[in-house]
Amino acid sequence: MVVFMSHSSDRVFIFNSNKSCFSSAVFSSFPLANIWIEKNALSGVLTEYPLNQGSYDWAVEQGYFKVKSPIDRAPVFIGSFISTYQKRWHFIDGEVLQETVDQ
C-alpha cells in the first residue's frame, strides 16, 4: 500500500499506460489516481507534475538541474525534459510496484 503524505493543489498526477505514447488521465491527487488505476487494473507509470509550470523550469527553480551547456537551453531538450526528482509510481495490473524518486 502506498500512502501519499502531502496533497497540494499546485501538483497534478498524470498516468501513462505501458506502450502508450500519450497520457490517458490527469488527477488532482494521488488517491484519486490510485483508485482509478486499481479499478481498471492498469499497468503503467503515474508521475507527479508541477501545475502551471514545465518540469524543466520547476527543476531549475528547485535547484535540481543546473544549465551547463547551450543544449540545456534548446527547445528540444526543454520540451522533453522530466526531472528524476519528480515522484513516479509504477503499476502492474492496478497494483503499485514501487514509488520512485531519484535524489
Q: Each residue of 75-93: pLDDT tens digit?
A: 999 999 999 999 999 999 9
Strand order in the sheet with 88-92: 25-27, 11-17, 44-50, 88-92, 95-100
More confident residue, 99 or 42: 42
Span 52-75, average pLDDT: 96
Q: With bands split at pLDDT 50, 70 and 90, how would you rate the model's confidence at 103?
A: low
Neighbours of 101 (CB within 10 A): 11
Q: With bands split at pLDDT 50, 70 and 90, how would you rate the model's confidence at 100?
A: confident
Predicted confidence at residue 102, as pLDDT, reads 60
Cell 495490473, located at residue: 93
Indicate whether this model's pTM tops 0.85: no
* Chain centre distance of CA 79: 15
The 10s digit of each residue's pLDDT in 14-48 is 999 999 999 999 999 999 999 999 999 999 999 99
**CB 47, CB 13: distance < 8 Å:** yes
